[in-house]
Each structure stands twice: as structure tokens, then as C-alpha cells.
Amino acid sequence: RVDFRPLLRTTFLALDRWVKDGTLPPPSRYPRIADGSLAPMIILPAPIPGLALAKGPNAKLRIDYGPNFNKGIIGKVLPVALKESYRVLVPKVDADGNELGGIRLPDISVPVATATGWAVRGPDSGGAGELCYLDGSFIPFAKTKAEREATDDPRASLEERYRDGSDYVERVRQAARKAQLADFIEEQRATIG
């Protein structure tokens, strides 16, 4: 439910400018070990109602293809999976469960929900707790403080976050302007109503 079309359009235009006249695109923003935006596992301060966490990230096995694999020669026609696996890191999240690294579009920097790029299989679907590939999750915030407290949701409700609709719109406008100044949204896409 996060609308990344303005970002996609802008990156296509940046690619076009780079190819046509050598204008470099904005620097990549992705989660990194160096700045702590990658972590061994998603850790939330408190459980979010409706958000099931995966048992863990899918392991990346280390495979032995033989001693000359680095030269492009597969010496073991049936490669062997080694006991140790690669360390898997995932993007670190904020208190709402939204990723900290990468490009934070207005949908994430001025949130109305927890939006993840992953989803977990439910208990009735078989493979409970396993990751669903190519699916995401969208868990809306409670509308009121009373609704939030009734469900023990640790995330602030909409009424606790935003004074009113115009406050929300102004914050989205500011977030869009910030993204536009960083060259991640074109100017005409940064305006709201």
C-alpha cells in the first residue's frame, strides 16, 4: 500500500539524465551495516496486534562447489551444503515497525500504519511462521487512543499523532518536499491537493 510510483518515475528520469548528459543520480540509500540500519533480526519494543513475526530470516546456505569454483570450475557435480550458513541481516525498524533505512517516502515518514515488505504465513495456511514471498503487510494504526489501549497496541493512534486532517496533510507536504529536495520525487509530484 506504499505508493512508490513517484519514486519510480523520478528514478527513471534520473537514469535518463545520467545516460543522456552524465548527470549523476542521487546517491543510493539502502540499509547498511555501518550505520546500524541492518540488524540480525527484526526486534520490536512491544508486539503489534495483527503483526506476526517470522520464525527467523531464511537461511542462506554456504555451498561447496569444489576448490576451483573461484576460477569458474565446478569440481563437485553434486555440490555439498556446508554446516555453516551466511549471516542474514534484515532492515532495522522504528517503534512503529517501519524500516529505518532506505528512502523514506511520505507514506513511511508520516505513517498511518506499519507497512512491511514481508508477510508471514498464518497458522491455518500451513507453514505457520514462514515468510510469504512477494507479499507485504499493512497494519493500520488505531484511530483513537481508547481503541489503541483496548488492543494493547504500542503504536500511537492517529489522534495522538496528528492534530487533525490538515496537520496530517501539512506533514505529508513537508515530507514530500524533503524527498523532492533529495531528488527522490519530482517537483510536480511533491504537491498535495
Q: Does residue 34 contact residue 67 with C-beta atoms inside 8 Å?
A: no
Long-range contacts of 55-61 (CB under 8 A, 24+ apart): 55/129, 55/130, 57/88, 57/89, 57/90, 57/131, 58/88, 58/131, 59/85, 59/86, 59/88, 60/85, 60/86, 60/88, 61/85, 61/86
Sequential DSSP letters for 83-119: EEEE---EE-B-TTS-B-SS---HHHHS-SEEEES-E
85-100 per-position pLDDT tens digit: 888 888 888 989 999 8
Closest CA to 42 of 154, 105, 118, 140: 118
Residue reference for cell 503489534: 48
What pLDDT shows up at residue 189? Answer: 43
Model pLDDT for residues 175-185, shown as the tens digit of each residue: 999 988 888 88
Q: Which residue has the cell 529536495?
A: 181
Residue 103 confidence (pLDDT) above 60? yes
Contacts of 176 (CB under 8 A, 6+ apart): 106, 185, 189, 190, 191, 192
> For 7-53, what is each residue's pLDDT tens digit?
899 999 999 999 999 999 988 888 999 988 888 876 676 788 888 87
pLDDT score for 152: 94
pTM to 2 decimal places: 0.79
